[in-house]
Amino acid sequence: MDTPQLTLTLEVRALVGNPIEISNVDGWRRRIIPIIGGSFEGRGELAVKGRVLSGGADAQLIQPDGLTIADARYTLETEHGETIYVQNRGLRHAPPDVMQKLLAGERVDPSLVYFRTTPIFETGAADLQVLARSIFIGTGERHPAEVVLKFWKVG
């Protein structure tokens, strides 16, 4: 069996709003991060670009040590009007001092943060089926007003 190869296929730059704190139960924090816009661009075999539609959100559970379990759901729209639904689950963690700054909305060096995701894409567009018919892993960077995600096709 061949060793899987990773190919950078899609980059998403999602603009995010202020976190909405929902609850704190047994030390866990629940918060919602609104996704309010942004852009995306395909790479390699996926020659597409477009915008991130507002209305999505990342529902996060945060442990006392800062480990964040993310569950983001949002929609992409290509420049030709085709839509792509994204469900992107992931984990984010870093040393406690870095996580404290990150969760407070401060800028941190992305290389200090482990931020990995497993996206699932849904689309009816024939020319975008590589998204719906492939496995991807994602890497992420959290900045104060945006999240930069790079999605790698597992081949």
Stretch 141-147: mean pLDDT: 93
Residue 80's SS3 state is coil
Q: Is the pLDDT of residue 1 over 80?
A: no
Per cent of the chain over pLDDT 70 is 100
Tokens of 124: 């009816």
Chain segment 110-135, per-residue pLDDT in tens: 999 999 999 999 999 999 999 999 99
Give the Cα separation of 98 and 107 in Å (integer): 9
Chain segment 43-73, per-residue pLDDT in tens: 998 999 999 999 999 999 999 888 999 999 9
Q: What is the largest CA-CA distance in the chain?
A: 47
Give the Cα separation of 146 and 101 in Å (integer): 15
Owner of token pair 């992409």? 76
Give the Cα separation of 72 and 34 in Å (integer): 9
Cβ-contact 136, 130 below 8 angstroms: no
| Cβ-based neighbour number of residue 108 at 10 Å | 20
Long-range contacts at 59-63 (CB < 8 A, ≥ 24 apart): 59/30, 59/32, 60/29, 60/30, 60/31, 60/32, 60/33, 61/28, 61/29, 61/30, 62/28, 62/29, 62/30, 62/31, 62/103, 63/27, 63/28
pLDDT value of residue 99: 87
Classify domain 6-154 by CATH architecture: Beta Barrel (2.40)
pLDDT value of residue 53: 98
Chain segment 69-112, per-residue pLDDT in tens: 999 999 999 999 999 999 999 999 999 999 889 888 889 999 99
